[in-house]
Amino acid sequence: MTTRPIGATAPTTVRELSVEGAYEFTPEIFPDRRGLFVTTYQQPQFTRTSGHAMPVFQTCQSRSSRGVVRGVHFTATPPGMAKHVTCGRGRALDFVVDLRVGSPTFGEWDTVELGQDTFRSTYLPIGVGHGFVALENDTTLVYLMSGPYVAEHELAVSPLDPELALPLTLEGAEPVMSERHVAAPTLAQALEAGILPDYATCLELEAAL
């Protein structure tokens, strides 16, 4: 049995993702006969890792059935939005996609498996796209967001873009998507339309967080 005093600092393992400025956080879990306790976000460690705080303007949750695909979302920049994402129930394959024009990792992506067994989380800096595919029914993701949701600022790139080639397919399940995501432009189309975030602008906004 492992116990932890409420309020004590718990160690977290940090991994830098292949998308510049994005991170994976894996916290220590403290189980006992009652269940478990875990700290999924610690501002001091986050600040040491990223170089700035994560101002939490709002928190959101989504619940998805197995095979549901959400994203790839991003926010018009400016204003831009940073996100910290964790999974409180079920499992999801999380996608971190660099949409920042001029970034050294533009067009690249990385994946992190989020789930109730690890309580791992991802941090997506301003201008980086986010999506996921739910690996189990009732998969619940929790989002810490640095700004408000404004419908006209919220944009998407198609998760079905063959150039991105995101691993969306699950055995025995076809991807379940909203009409908005099915109709979203490819990365090349979004670039041509001039709607993708500018890397230098993203860095300026990120530094001001």
Which are the catalytic amino acids? 73, 143
Q: In angstroms, how far apart are the furthest CA atoms of the chain?
A: 57
Straight-line distance from the first to the last Cα atom of the chain, in angstroms, rounded to the nearest whole number: 39
User: What is the 3-state composition of the chain as percent helix, strand, coil, each rounded to the nearest 5?
Assistant: 15, 40, 45
C-alpha dihedral sign at 95, 9, 7, 56: negative
Residue spans of alpha helices (H) in 38-172? 43-50
**Cβ pair 193, 187 in contact under 8 A:** no
**Residue 158: half-sphere exposure toward Cβ, Cα within 13 Å:** 17
Peptide bond into 72 cis (omega under 30): yes
